[in-house]
Amino acid sequence: MTKHDQIIHYIETLPIGHKISVRGIAKHLNMSEGTAYRAIKDAETLGIVSTIERVGTIRIEKKSKYSPDMLTFEEIVSVIEGEVLGGHAGLNNHLAKFIIGAMTVEAMTKYFSPGSLIIVGNRQRVQELALANGVAVLITGGFGATQEIIDLANQYQLPLISTAHDTFTVATLINRSMTEQMIKKEIVTVQDIFVPLEQSRYLSPHDTVETFHRYADMTGDSRFPVVHNQRLIGVVTAKDLIGKNEQTVIERLMTREPITVKTHMSVASVSHKMIWEDLEMLPVVADNLQLLGVVTRQDVMKAMQSLQQQPQIVHTYEDEVNAHLDRYPASVNSNHYDFRVTIQPQMISNFGTISYGVLCELITNVAHQKLLNQTKFNSMVEKLDLNYFNMIQLGNEIQFKAEIFYQNRRSVLSQVDVYHENSLVARAIVTSQIIEQN
């Protein structure tokens, strides 16, 4: 190992939360402080240490990189509460599909493909054949494996896993995890859309108003982050500079402790923040306030629109509830209802009446659809005040009537009335935030 690698390895052995200093590491490993400093900075890039203001540099748990496509075999082990018997080198590979090994050896070979996992009991011949064909093996029922199979798994670097669960339970757990992963894939985060620091403009606190205007002319932007030693210390906008001398330094005009976002935040939450605060740009920072880049309102709106146009792959609970909501047919709509739904068994509470959460979800969707149909604007519900007058029972058909009674550039107020047999049973006032024009 080089001295640099030795320091990285030493840092990895430290417990989470341990405080790190350049002088301490240099003294402990008998190296120069310059070497220690460079290695600690590299460790910060690797995500195993973090520098926190007024705390110092500490050892942190490395955040696993999120893969939006598939689960890894290591994640499968955690889901099924399994034990890895061999093939540890392949745990970071992704699972493409799983196979139930309840068939003859000859019949199952046609299902073998790279990235597959076969779920099988104590059948050594099947285990051997699967590993030879590049397929990982999951042994159910708490059985182990022979040393010959373990050696084969290590040779091919294919995970060999054992679990105490039965085949049905394991298949259910894996299938549920794969479904959840597909839902996560549809959730766009800041990580997917932000502009990295190398491709964006920023100012130092010692730059002047003249520099700001020069950058603004080059990029067309009116808002820039202010950075010192790679740390975000403020944000300056064109409004802050109105009437100021061209030689005034930015540090005197910037807004300190600005609103920031992290890479793991969803685009929907960032959209809400931007519109509520009327911001065109937000800095993207690490935990130690190191500036990673910026995200603009244009980037967010484009991502939101792209997400809405994607085909739905799997259904969330929200989708399951709203799937029963129908537009009221105009031919029988003498009372001008907008939507109707028949209460299903999965929508009720333990008391046999509609679940409060389900009713709120239905009302939210009705308010959203009303605004979209009437104004062509999309929206995000910010507040819902619900008054519930009469119980709604299993099997009841209820109707919804929505009306927009206030709208400005940012938000909309809607009233949603719920009827059963032409009697008012609930009324909600819904405050929605306009997030984009469709």
| pLDDT tens per residue, range 99-148 | 888 888 888 888 888 888 999 988 899 999 999 999 999 999 889 999 99
User: CB-based burial of residue 385 (10 Å sphere; 0-12 exposed, 13-18 middle, 19+ buried)?
Assistant: exposed
Query: Which regions of the chain carry the CATH code 3.40.1390.20?
Result: 73-185
Q: Which CATH number fits domain 317-437: 3.10.129.10, 3.40.50.720, 3.40.930.10, 3.90.950.10?
A: 3.10.129.10
- HSE, CB side, 13 Å, CA atoms: give it for residue 96: 9
State the pLDDT at residue 384: 93
The secondary structure of residue 252, as a DSSP letter, is G
303 or 76, which is more confident?
A: 76
pLDDT tens sequence across 319-351 = 778 888 888 876 666 678 889 999 988 888 877
pLDDT at 400 over 90: yes
Supply the pLDDT for residue 67: 47
| Averaged pLDDT of the chain | 85
Classify domain 190-306 by CATH architecture: Roll (3.10)
Q: What is the pLDDT of residues 257-280, one digit of tens each?
A: 888 999 888 887 888 788 777 788
Handedness of CA 416, 418, 424, 428 (dihedral sign): negative
Length of the chain in terms of residues written: 438
Write the CATH number of the domain with boundaries 73-185: 3.40.1390.20
What pLDDT shows up at residue 438?
39
The residue-averaged pLDDT of 245-250 equals: 91
Mean pLDDT confidence for 366-390: 87
pLDDT at 341: 92
Residue intervals in the chain for CATH 3.10.580.10:
190-306
pLDDT at 305: 64
DSSP state of 15: P
pLDDT tier, 312 (very low <50, low <70, confident <90, very high otherwise): very low
Average pLDDT, stretch 305-327? Answer: 66
Query: How confident is the model over 67-78, as pLDDT tens digits?
Result: 445 678 888 898
Q: Greater confidence, 397 or 52? A: 397
pLDDT at position 224, please?
92
Instruction: Give the residue-averaged pLDDT of 280-288.
Output: 88
At 360, is the pLDDT very low, low, confident or very high (cuts 50, 70, 90)?
very high
- Residue 74 confidence (pLDDT): 87
Is residue 266 within 8 A of residue 274, CB to CB? The reply is no
- Predicted pLDDT at 436: 58
Question: What percentage of the chain has pLDDT greater than the value 90?
Answer: 30
Contact 310, 250 (CB under 8 A): no
Least confident of 22-36, 214-228, 319-333, 395-409: 319-333
pLDDT at position 135 is 92
* pLDDT-based confidence at residue 41 (cuts at 50, 70, 90): confident
Instruction: Please check whether the domain covering 3-59 is classified as CATH 1.10.10.10.
Output: yes
Q: Is the pLDDT of residue 172 over 90?
A: no
Residue with tokens 């001008």, as numbered in its chain: 336
Q: What is the mean pLDDT of residues 190-209?
A: 88
CA-to-CA dists, residue 211 to 56, 224, 232, 249, 251, angstroms: 33, 11, 18, 9, 13
Burial-class residue 216 by CB neighbours within 10 Å (0-12, 13-18, 19+): middle
Domain with CATH 3.10.129.10 in the chain: 317-437
Report pLDDT for 306: 60
Q: Where in the chain is the domain with CATH 1.10.10.10?
A: 3-59
pLDDT at 46 over 80: no
